[in-house]
């Protein structure tokens, strides 16, 4: 049963996952193509200087990549369930309804985690070719909230898409609109160091949110 559910999630999302993994890898590739271009055309020491003291973010292109993928995968995964209320079929399976929803959520989370780890490992590996840890660690601190935003957005989209009443969908969007920008404050490299642990808690709090709209869906809230 479990395998079948996972296979169903895979069938819904596979092309989005493959497209996102490819796109994300290409963006990371582009970042380092641009870095090596800058190393060649302006001196390496000048480039380091602009990163350290002129607030240049060489990884800036990554900013909205994690959230874009999360939105795509979340919609691909949950929107088909709302068409003709197909998810009700899932709820008729001999499985605990919350457990099914949590498996779906866990599938999406693991897919996002795997994609993000892929991007991050390529990012760190290439960064280590050009920069010392004194540049890489602040860069990682800065991009962490962008990746956390991906998870938060995934959970909020699941919540919003599964909600059966349009009025509440709109209200959930308002709540999401107060939370998601917290991950994207304009700030100097490294300045999210103190906020990141709280953002992790926010992601954890939002992680089971689809159980709420799933419950309302099951109840036939109109």
Partner 1 sequence: MVKLSRYFLVILAVVGFAIVLPKLYWMAFAKPIRAPYVMYSCIDNNFVILRSGNGVKRTNIKGEELTREEYEQKLPLLFVRQLLLNKTMPDSINGVEMDMHDITINRSTFRVRPKEVNAPQPTLFPLFESQSGRANLSMPPDFFRITWRMEFIDAATNKINEEKSRMFSAVLYKHGFKFPATTIEGIPTTRKSCDEGYFIIDSANQLFHIKMIKGEPYVHKIETPTGLTFKTIRCVDFKNKRYYAYLFSTNNEIYILTQYDYELIKFPIENLNPQIAEIKIYSDLFNFNVISITDGEMHVTALNRDYQKVDEFIEKWPVRSQRTEGKIAQFIFPAQISLTNKTSGFVRFFVTPPESFYWLFLSLLLAAVHFVLLKQKRVKITKHIIDFIIIAITGIFGFIAVNIFPNKFYD
Residue 44 Cβ vs partner 1, minimum distance, rounded to whole Å: 4
Closer Cβ to partner 1, 14 or 185, answer by number: 185
In eight-state DSSP terms, residue 56 is: -
Residue 206 Cβ vs partner 1, minimum distance, rounded to whole Å: 6
In terms of C-beta density within 10 A (0-12 exposed, 13-18 middle, 19 or more buried), how is residue 121 classed?
exposed
Closer Cβ to partner 1, 112 or 202, answer by number: 202
Closer Cβ to partner 1, 18 or 204, answer by number: 204
Structure tokens at 72: 């795509």
Closer Cβ to partner 1, 21 or 212, answer by number: 212
Residue 87 Cβ vs partner 1, minimum distance, rounded to whole Å: 15
Tell how far CA 145 is from the center of its chain.
Answer: 10
Residue 18 Cβ vs partner 1, minimum distance, rounded to whole Å: 31
Specify the 3-state DSSP secondary structure of 77: helix
| Beta carbons within 10 angstroms of residue 179's beta carbon | 17
Nearest to 122 by CA among 23, 13, 14: 23
Nearest to 31 by CA among 129, 177, 107: 129
Residue 19 Cβ vs partner 1, minimum distance, rounded to whole Å: 30
Residues forming contacts to partner 1 in the complex (CB under 8 A) are 39, 43-49, 52-53, 98, 128-132, 134-135, 138, 159, 168, 171-172, 174-175, 178-179, 182, 185, 187-195, 198, 202, 205-206, 208-212, 214-216, 219, 221
Residues in Cβ contact with 93 at an 8 Å cutoff, skipping those fewer than 6 apart: 1, 5, 100
Cα–Cα dist 204/143, whole Å: 18
Closer Cβ to partner 1, 24 or 145, answer by number: 145
């Amino acid at each position: 049963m479990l395998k079948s559910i996972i296979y169903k999630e895979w069938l819904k999302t596979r092309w989005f996952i493959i497209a996102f993994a490819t796109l994300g890898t290409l963006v990371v590739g582009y970042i380092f193509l641009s870095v090596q271009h800058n190393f060649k055309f302006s001196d390496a020491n000048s480039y380091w200087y602009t990163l350290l003291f002129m607030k240049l973010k060489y990884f800036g292109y990554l900013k909205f990549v994690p959230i874009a993928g999360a939105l795509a995968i979340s919609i691909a995964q949950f929107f088909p369930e709302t068409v003709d209320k197909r998810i009700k079929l899932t709820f008729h399976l001999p499985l605990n309804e919350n457990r099914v929803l949590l498996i779906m959520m866990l599938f999406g989370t693991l897919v996002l985690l795997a994609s993000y780890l892929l991007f991050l490992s390529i990012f760190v590996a290439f960064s280590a070719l050009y920069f010392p840890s004194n540049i890489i660690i602040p860069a990682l601190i800065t991009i962490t909230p962008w990746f956390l935003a991906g998870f938060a957005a995934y959970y909020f989209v699941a919540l919003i898409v599964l909600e059966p009443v349009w009025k509440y969908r709109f209200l959930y969007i308002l709540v999401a609109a107060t939370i998601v920008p917290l991950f994207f404050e304009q700030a100097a490299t490294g300045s999210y160091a103190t906020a990141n642990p709280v953002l992790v808690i926010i992601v954890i709090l939002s992680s089971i949110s689809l159980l709420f709209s799933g419950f309302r869906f099951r109840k036939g809230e109109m």
